[in-house]
Amino acid sequence: MNKKKIINDPVYGFVSIPSGLVFDLLQHPYLQRLRYVKQVSMTHLVYPGALHTRFQHVIGAMHLMQLALDTLKGKGVAISEVEEEAALVAILLHDIGHGPFSHSLEHTIIEGVSHEVISALMMDRLNQEFNGRLDLAIIIFNNKYNRKFFHQLVSGQLDTDRMDYLNRDSFFTGVSEGVISYDRIIKMLDVIDNRLVVDSKGIYSVENFLIARRLMYWQVYLHKTVIGAEQMLIKALARAKKLSAEGVALFATPALQHFLTQTVNASNFISEPAHLKWFALLDDTDIMSALKVWSQHPDYILRTLCSRLLNRSLFRTEMRSTDFHPQDIARLKELVQTTFGIAAAEVDYFVYYQVVANSAYNPSEDTISIVNSKGELLDIAEASDLSNLESLSKKVVKYALTFPKEVQFIEYSKIADKIIK
């Protein structure tokens, strides 16, 4: 069978499948499932073009990994064929553990288990099927290989994962602020003492990368309408699980039914292999089919959440840099209870308080090292002459309050101001 295929990617053009092993992995149901998992969850409700998938993303990240490895080899970095294939496999599989709607339902379908843990379990399962051919890829993925630059390219402050999702998400959302010079960054990469470094000529491209990441988080990933819609989805699933626990029969695909009717968490997910089998059958279509049926369900809360999501009659979200007063949140909940005729125990299905945070660069995790003309290594924050780069490493915190738009919410402090005036 001819396994030398070419994929036409809308972001990079033609992408080659580099080996028979990569081809076989792409054909595996674990990878094919990612065709039906949206890359940016509910973002399409704000940016209609954002319907791209995790499958597209992992192929793009693999392509950038190939470009990076070719650059490093061209600069004299010794990389064996075995290491090269392992690095490509590691980045190809890095998101394999994402569930439906990517990050939105993480820790919801399976309590307390991250997609990284599930990815590791799936990679171990694949390694058994492929007779140990993924050994080195798993070692690189888990950051246990002595040549650290391989893991940095898979998961680091300047990895091929981030380079692809910024480019790809910018392309499909139309948010031009996310465009980065990925090709120049890759051309400026090098390795010193088995760690990834960037030539000082590429410093402005790295600065742009960090700024783009900050802007994309606030304009796309943490957009107030997006995080509100994600909470509506989470609460709809929570309501469905509660009803199932009470013995209410709900429509669901067999895979979704498994997680609705059982408590699956960190303690039993790893120890009971059946959970992973059912998880591997879950994707966005399971959730969407359930939402469509539940939108006609007799339960008022489940019906309201599902129908409003499907019809984009979303709750309103207020986001700001200062916290909301607990008294205002309590008043809002009382208003929602009265308006919708629901019990106090049910108001959290309609009112969501969130604290969201983002920092574009976290030097405590893994620094971006710049090598100057003298061969000295400097952290990007030291090497940069951009005055606000240091601020990009600071965590920015914002507070969000989501509630039905039928409710007129006026903060207590504003009411007090009007009375005084």
Tell me the mean pLDDT in the region 228-249: 96
Counting every residue written for the chain, the total comes to: 421
Topology (CATH level 3) of domain 6-93+134-222? Hypothetical protein af1432 (1.10.3210)
Three-class SS of residue 194?
coil
**pLDDT class for 417, splitting at 50, 70, 90?**
very low
Percent of the chain topping pLDDT 70: 96
- Is the model's pLDDT at 415 over the cut of 60? no
Three-class SS of residue 112?
coil
Cα–Cα dist 405/83, whole Å: 54
CB distance 134 to 140 below 8 Å: no
Going from N- to C-terminal start, the domains of the chain cover 6-93+134-222
Average pLDDT of the chain to the nearest whole number: 93
> Strand locations in 203-315, DSSP E?
none
- Is the model's pLDDT at 215 over the cut of 60? yes
What is the per-residue pLDDT across 76-108, written as a single tens digit (0 to 9) for each? 999 999 999 999 999 999 999 999 998 888 888
Query: If DSSP states are collapsed to H, E and C, what string results for 137-159?
Result: HHHHHCCCCCCCHHHHHHCCCCC
Q: Provide the token pair at 326.
A: 């607990």
pTM for this entry: 0.94
Cα–Cα dist 209/394, whole Å: 16
Cα–Cα dist 295/298, whole Å: 9
